[in-house]
Amino acid sequence: MKNVILFDVDGTITDPKVGITKSVQYALRHFGIIINNPDDLCTFIGPPLRQSFKDFYGFDDTSAEKAVEKYREYYLDTGIYENFLYDGMDVMLEKLKQQGKTLLTASTKPTPQVKRVLEYFHIIKYFTFISGSEFNGDRSDKKELILYALENAKINDLNDCIMIGDRKHDIIGAKKVGIDSIGVLYGYGGLDELTEAEATFIVKNVAELSELLC
């Protein structure tokens, strides 16, 4: 298939559910909003963080900024490590690298956090360039992230590129750039979301993803 493969991180390479939902729970508690079941906060996995606080809880810019600050109090010390690598992901990444594929990230997570996660799971060595957002929220749109990764990796042939992610933002970003996409059902978007976003391909698990890519 394609020789340039872009990966979302949360919900695609790793399962960050525990760390992210607990971090959001911690942030909301600062505003007197008590969420007893962290599973109710899974909608925060994938989209830009500031926008999620606005969309789901009606926060204004100032409150959203404070919420992100509180979120990071928990996430940077604890939540970032409450994370799991999807089964078979490391094996697939190694195989792709051995086949000469160029692997990139396009994640709305701030770049230093992306690097910490990939280093924690000992898989950063497979990636040519790490594209993430800025801590201030800049470059958090998927189209921007994809283009930033391709520019820094000096990739010009869009026909040779594909974006992989679990949420509609990944698929929509890929469409805006003009590249194919793969939606993964083992993440947090679901079939309806990925179908409506018009993913080029949809796979159920890492094994299917590996078969398609390799």
pLDDT tens for 24-74 read: 999 999 999 999 999 999 999 988 999 999 999 999 999 999 999 999 999
Question: What's the Cα-to-Cα distance from 6 to each of 62, 75, 132, rounded to whole Å?
Answer: 33, 25, 12
Range of the domain at 56: 17-81
Among 30, 62, 81, give the residue marking a domain's end: 81
Counting other chains too, the contacts that 86-92 makes at CB distance below 8 Å and 24 or more residues apart are 86/13, 86/14, 86/15, 86/186, 86/206, 87/206, 88/206, 88/207, 88/210, 89/13, 89/14, 89/123, 89/206, 90/121, 90/122, 90/123, 91/210, 92/206, 92/209, 92/210, 92/213, 92/214
Same domain, 54 and 112: no
Can you give the pTM of this predicted structure? 0.92
Among 81, 103, 130, give the residue marking a domain's end: 81
Same domain, 139 and 92: yes
Same domain, 115 and 196: yes
Among 55, 81, 107, give the residue marking a domain's end: 81
Same domain, 105 and 66: no
Question: What's the Cα-to-Cα distance from 149 to each of 6, 11, 101, 117, 139, rounded to whole Å?
Answer: 8, 19, 15, 18, 11
Q: Mean pLDDT of all residues in the chain?
A: 97
How do residues 174-194 score in pLDDT, each as one tens digit?
Answer: 999 999 999 999 999 999 999
CATH number at residue 166: 3.40.50.1000
Query: Which pLDDT score, from 0 to 100, does residue 93 have?
Result: 98
Query: Which pLDDT score, from 0 to 100, does residue 137 have?
Result: 84
Phi, psi of 208 (to 5 degrees): -65, -40
Same domain, 53 and 150: no
Same domain, 108 and 173: yes
* Residues identified as active-site: 8
Tokens representing 205 are 């698990």
How do residues 105-126 score in pLDDT, each as one tens digit?
Answer: 999 999 999 999 999 999 999 9
Same domain, 10 and 21: no
Helix (H) or strand (E) holding 131, with range, is strand 129-133
**Count of the separate structural domains present in the chain:** 2
DSSP secondary structure code for residue 10 in this structure: B
Asked if residue 90 lies in contact with residue 7, where contact means CB atoms within 8 angstroms, the answer is: no
Same domain, 77 and 173: no
Letter for the amino acid at 27?
A: A
Same domain, 131 and 90: yes
Query: Which pLDDT score, from 0 to 100, does residue 1 have?
Result: 81
